[in-house]
Amino acid sequence: MNDLGTATDGSGSRDAGPAAQVVEEIRAAGGTAVASTADASSVEGTRSLIDLACAEFGSVDGVVANAGIYRPGLDFTEIDEGLLERMTAIHAFGAWRLVRAAWPRFTGCGRGRVVLVTSAAGLYGMAGNAAYSLLKAGIVGLTRTLAAEGAPHGIRVNAVAPVAWSRMSTATEGVPPEVLERMREEAPPEAVAPVVAALLADDVPVTGEVLSAGRGRVGRVLTGETPGHSLGGRRAAARAGPHRADQRTPLRGGDGVPGLGARDALSGSPGRGGRRGWYPAARRILHHTQTCIACTS
């Protein structure tokens, strides 16, 4: 169990208390655990975590990259480079380095389990959390890439987007105390922990998945794409480019957007407005695509 014990934004001195408290809870429940306050964003810190686990338990069968810091309530333009770098170090580099430190042991024994932690902010975006959203979105791509690379070695990699109260919850400014207390009661971390444990099990049937978990429910997060609309292939697109803006390039039959004529979809004719005609056509395509998404959601 690793926790630096700093403030939720990563500031302040280290405190062994949080990690020690969780270890005591695990032991009281009949489990075995050891505490660590190593820096989970550094190469040395993540390697020391794997070495400690091997020394205490004989091997490492799975890792959970859950370390993070949180500084909500800042507009995109208010996030300075220092904060962005600190958040990147723990959320992105930390997850990368922890898995990297454990990977050779997994490939050596032909099995391994990895659980990464993303967020609704990374999946859907969240105002006032641009940096956090950026980094948590990256976790999704890393999860699916590692799942593909780990499959031949018996390594399964999944991610969880938890809905749960934590110390980070109290860092959100302007949230009334009664709301935080209700969240603590309705979305306890105990409702997410079993999902993480299941993803670490020997018989976990999935890899490369993102699961939303919390408030007594578990859901599979999907990435969708509509069939889309063909723009007529690369040759047609090239003809419609700025260097051939004087030519009209009709789409093939059936390739146009319903209700949108082929010439309207891709027309560079000065008589149709030239390049200026592309913008409204693109808007109509996007509107139609958005409608398709709404119909299938």
Retrieve residue 185's tokens.
Answer: 């009661």
- Percent of the chain scored above 70 by pLDDT? 71
What's at 275, amino acid-wise? R
Catalytic residues: 132
Amino acid at 69: I
Q: Where are the domains of the chain?
A: 17-220, 233-296
| Number of separate helices (H) and strands (E) present in the chain | 11, 5
Rounded Cα distance, 107 and 104, in Å: 5
- Residue 8 structure tokens: 């939720």
- CATH 3.30.70.1150 holds for 17-220: no
Read off the tokens for 161. Answer: 């987007």
Residue 292 has pLDDT above 50, yes or no: no
Could you tell me where the beta strands, DSSP code E, fall in 21-82? 62-65
**Residue 61: what pLDDT?**
96
291 pLDDT higher than 50: no
**Nearest Cα to Cα of residue 115 among 99, 100, 133:** 99
Would you place residue 250 in the very low, low, confident or very high pLDDT band (cuts 50, 70, 90)?
A: very low
Look at the pTM and tell me if it is higher than 0.85: no
The answer to whether 96 and 47 are in contact (CB under 8 A) is no
Residue 117 CA to residue 162 CA, distance in Å, equals 8
3-state DSSP assignment of residue 155: strand
How do beta strands 210-214 and 217-220 pair? antiparallel
- Provide the 10 A C-beta neighbour count for residue 94: 24
- Which residue from 3, 51, 55 is spatially nearest to 26, judged by alpha carbons? 3
If pLDDT is split at 50, 70 and 90, which confidence band does 170 have?
low
Q: Is 70 exceeded by the pLDDT of residue 58? A: yes
Q: Are the CB atoms for 232 and 255 separated by under 8 Å?
A: yes
Least confident of 36-40, 88-92, 136-140, 176-180: 176-180
Among 178-182, 205-209, 270-274, the range of highest mean pLDDT = 205-209
Residues of the chain by 3-state class (helix, strand, coil), percent to 5: 50, 10, 35
Q: Which residues contact 295 (CB under 8 A, 6 or more apart)?
A: none
Sequence-ordered list of residues with C-beta below 8 angstroms from that of 128, at least 6 positions apart, any chain = 72, 73, 74, 75
Give the range with max mean pLDDT: 82-86, 237-241, 266-270.
Answer: 82-86
